[in-house]
Amino acid sequence: MTSRKMLANAIRVLSMDAIQKANSGHPGAPMGMADIAEVLWRDYLNHNPSNPQWINRDRFILSNGHSSMLLYSLLHLSGYNITIEDLKNFRQLNSKTPGHPEYGYTDGVEATTGPLGQGLANAVGLAIAERTLAAQFNRPEHKIIDHYTYVFLGDGCMMEGISHEVCSLAGTMRLGKLILFYDNNGISIDGEVKNWFKDDTAARFEAYNWHVVRDIDGHDSNSIKEAIEISRVTDKPSLLICKTIIAFGAPTKSGTHIAHGAPLGEEEIAATRKALNWKELPFVIPREIYRSWSAKEIGHTKELNWNKKLELYEKNYPKLAKEFRRRIQGDLPLTWQETSQKIIDQLQTKPAIIASRKASQNTLEAFSPILPELLGGSADLTLSNLTAWSNSKSITDNPAGNYINYGVREFGMTAIGNGIARHGGFLPYTSTFLIFVEYAKNAVRMAAMMKMRHIMIYTHDSIGLGEDGPTHQPVEQLAGLRMTPNMSIWRPCDQVETAVAWKKAIERYDGPTALILSRQNLVQQNRTQQQVKNIARGGYVLKDCIGEKPELILIATGSEIELAVEAYQKLHDEGYKVRVVSLPSTDIFDLQDIEYRESVLPKKVHSRLAIEAGIAEYWYKYVGFSGDIIGMTNFGESAPAKDLFKVFGFTIENVLLKARQLLK
């Protein structure tokens, strides 16, 4: 029988060889954590390499994503669709083995991990989703959702602030099926971390209400197994502090920062092979080691047994099982299209002057009864973001609920939302003020990169916030979101556009959507049935000079639509040919065919005026250099909203002045 040490050494040699061939990478952590990985993956991890998307698999997150060769080696050895050739192509163009694990590139990679701490945060989301889905669907004697979330992380993840946000929340929620393995090797890029990181990490996590196992020998399988065993039966999340040696086995570079982020070099690799008693050539793994590592047969059996459980569940709870299958497949209810469109059409016939944040809440109230997969929350701003509805139930009070009180944790909340989306069975929405997207920005970026189906609600969308002043008044945030690849952004002008924005967000499966909503009340616009339909195209003609080519086009979004419409009416009365274009979603509009875009914004009409209480520079894309923009070019001020709109030029007088200059 092949020894555990040799099975772990297979990870070490594959990692150091692939990194050496690429002449780039991080060999230290894969070599240091190989023994822990061998115990976890071979003795505990429930997964099926032949079906990486099996819903009841255990989740494994490599939060210290720079050590990606550890994960790629594990996937290859256990039987996933990762070949030796893929390992040889580590960090090369179009390979399945990029420098950091990328969700969607590689079977078995649960999340894109690179920015330290976010994999940990995603894992908290995965654990929340597991517990909530289990509470909603499991029945006595029928546990169809029952799995663990395991995380590898290092000093970098511990130092990043997001680790505090999410681990504090995880402890409060008592997420007992979340188990972290802390690679406590004492080394980072700059050297020994004791010079800048003296935290008592164990005490810190005990204060979070975590179960902590100290002083685990990360190179002793019995010590590792004992720690895992006791962690799997506690009702608290667990932190296993594993003392390891970075680049274990390398004669001169182990235990040093030199091994953290650079290839070991041919001479050191040869010496390491000798020290590990590894006699094979690079990228050659003996058959007996492959046989010991393969999880295909046992993984297939585990999923087969689970399928039998699901069949029995279906016999006892046929309606619940049907809903469960719909949820995990991500399908919308059969009645969705008809019901949602009916709600939108009814809104147009019932005008209301309300803030778009209130319109959003009303939409949630209308949509949520047919969408039980909605799992929402706010970063301690529920009463301001208006993200709760009449049947919202906190999962803190009721594990089968549908609402999460995230506390003041914008970054953590967003990354947790990504984890919930990644788990399956839920459509998460998260919320805060638009200005605080700055705290969450990297998790927003990761949502877009991973193409997560995650709805982000950002209220208090402009200087209209008023007296709270420039620290709370978003200026450049909206443009930044719009310029993020694969983000879809909506800034609706009334309750009808808000409902359409929600519908489009719910129906989007290939990325996140941000809804940018007002604090102040907005007047509902009159529309024809065709105009209501055209909202879904991201931009449309709201007011026009019938039968004639416009001399001027006013473009606006959100609260500034009212200014554009008022100016249109006055200019129309003066005999000018003017068009108003509502452009609530520029990215959706840009995806329309050229004929439609030309029908809304004809190229021959050069006189264009954009009006939006956000950064002005963004709008040159739509007005060109012959047009004009009423927007922000600096930060706001602390004053009532009406005074701010006046001083920054968002008045009918200024709109008319700019419009007449363009018309001349």
Contacts of 152 (CB under 8 A, 6+ apart): 33, 36, 37, 60, 61, 62, 63, 64, 67, 70, 181, 183
Q: Which residue has the tokens 């922000």?
A: 632
Contacts of 395 (CB under 8 A, 6+ apart): 128, 131, 132, 135, 173, 375, 401, 402, 403, 404
How far apart are alpha carbons 123 and 110 in whole angstroms?
Answer: 9
Strand partners, 96: none
Closest to 455 in 3D by CA, of 484, 487, 483: 487
The CA-to-CA distance between both ends of the chain, in Å, stands at 89
Q: Which two tokens stand for residue 216?
A: 């685990």
How far apart are alpha carbons 366 and 344 in whole angstroms?
Answer: 10
Our answer to whether residue 410 is catalytic in this structure is: yes
What is the Cα gyration radius of the chain?
A: 28
Q: Which ranges of 276-317 would DSSP assign to H, the alpha helix?
A: 287-293, 296-316
Q: Which of 130, 410, 497, 612 is catalytic?
A: 410
Residue 122 sits at the vertex; the CA angle it makes with 121 and 126, to the nearest 5 degrees, is 120
How far apart are alpha carbons 178 and 166 in whole angstroms?
Answer: 12
Q: Are strands 191-192 and 187-188 parallel, antiparallel or unpaired?
A: antiparallel
Which one-letter amino acid corresponds to residue 327?
R
Residue 309 sits at the vertex; the CA angle it makes with 304 and 310, to the nearest 5 degrees, is 95
Residue positions annotated with a catalytic role = 410
